Amino acid sequence: MRTLIALLLVLSSAGCDRDGPPPPPEARPRVVAVDWMGRGAIYAATVTGERSGLTGVRYADGEREWVEPSRVRPWPNLHGRSVSVWSRGAARPAQVVEERAGLLHVRFAEGGDSWVSLDMLYALDASAPTSTPEATPTFPARPPVQGVSVRPGDHVLAYWVSAGEVSRSRPYVCEVTSVGEEGVALRYLEDGSEATVSAAEILRVLEPVASTERGRRHWLADPAPVGTVLERRGELTKLRVGAQERWVEAPRLLEPADPFPASQLHSGARVTALWNGESLYHATVVSVAGGQVTLRWHDGSEASAVPLSDVVEVW
């Protein structure tokens, strides 16, 4: 997932999988400490952007999210601290021996030591959890589509799989890149990440549309999962995506994602909804009032209200 920038100051038998000189300080990414999932476990994350008062971050394993300012914490003193370093496709426990100019000298638990840059850090506490909390019995995972048959170029709604762990609290719009004995290879349109999943991680197939009408919302083959049609000019369509309006090519439009009437959003209903108007998450309806639905999010975040129109699935 993560492109490892060339870096290696000290090479040992258990050293990290980077080589070449370290990048100059001004070329290094900005790394911050983040309260992962708002649960008190502090992880290192690379800043990818700022939007609507939120900070976009990417963790060393490739997972991305937008976080509130309250979850960005002061950078800790790492000297002598037990951490985990993302190396060779896994989190490796290590202890920080020395910190110098944005680089860390770490000693791995299995032996050997190396210099790493901050963007290779994963958990800032080696005892922190290293996988996304799964749906609990109170929040059951959504059942997959039955008898799924896909081919390269198809678009699907699917879960993210990393190191064999499935994150079932939020789905993503993906493009199928290949199908083989090992599973279905997907490209996640939100950030271009890739993973191979089983049929059980595919929730639905999103069919393309040949025509549409003004005012209708569609699933999109785009980093934004859904958008509402405002205008068409030849092969171009003007969409409202979240709070923004932009033109896209018609082939990016997938099947309709029509809003659900309030009558279907009763307390206890399981839904897929837009958080902050952009990211998809599973949730359970708490209440409906005044054009808004209060949702208890399955990733463990606090319950919050969103517009009724932000519900894109009831399951």
Residues 34-39, mean pLDDT to the nearest whole number: 68
Q: Which CATH number characterizes residue 295's domain? A: 2.30.30.140
Please indicate, yes or no, if residue 181 is contained in any of the structural domains: no
Token pair for residue 131? Answer: 């996988």
Please indicate, yes or no, if residue 294 is contained in any of the structural domains: yes
Q: How many Å from the N-terminal Cα to the C-terminal Cα in the chain?
A: 31
Per DSSP, what are the bridge partners of residue 82? 95
**pLDDT the model gives residue 252:** 83
Which residue range forms the structural domain that includes residue 308?
A: 262-314
Residues 226-239, mean pLDDT to the nearest whole number: 87
The C-alpha atoms of residue 38 and residue 42 are separated, in whole angstroms, by: 9
* Residue at which a domain ends, from 231, 256, 281: 256
**pLDDT the model gives residue 303:** 85
**pLDDT the model gives residue 232:** 84
Mean pLDDT estimate for the chain: 81
Residue type, 268: G
Per DSSP, what are the bridge partners of residue 295? 285, 304
Residue with more model confidence, 19 or 82: 82
11 CA to centre of own chain: 33
- Which runs of E-coded beta strand occur in 37-193? 41-51, 54-59, 64-67, 72-73, 82-87, 90-100, 103-108, 113-117, 155-162, 165-180, 183-188
**pLDDT the model gives residue 312:** 94
Phi, psi of 252 (to 5 degrees): -75, -10
Please indicate, yes or no, if residue 160 is contained in any of the structural domains: no
As a whole-number percent, the residues of the chain with pLDDT over 90 amount to: 30
**pLDDT the model gives residue 164:** 66
**pLDDT the model gives residue 7:** 30
**Assessment of whether the complete model's pTM goes beyond 0.75:** no
Tell me the pLDDT tens digit for each residue of 174-185.
999 999 988 899
Residues 235-246, mean pLDDT to the nearest whole number: 83
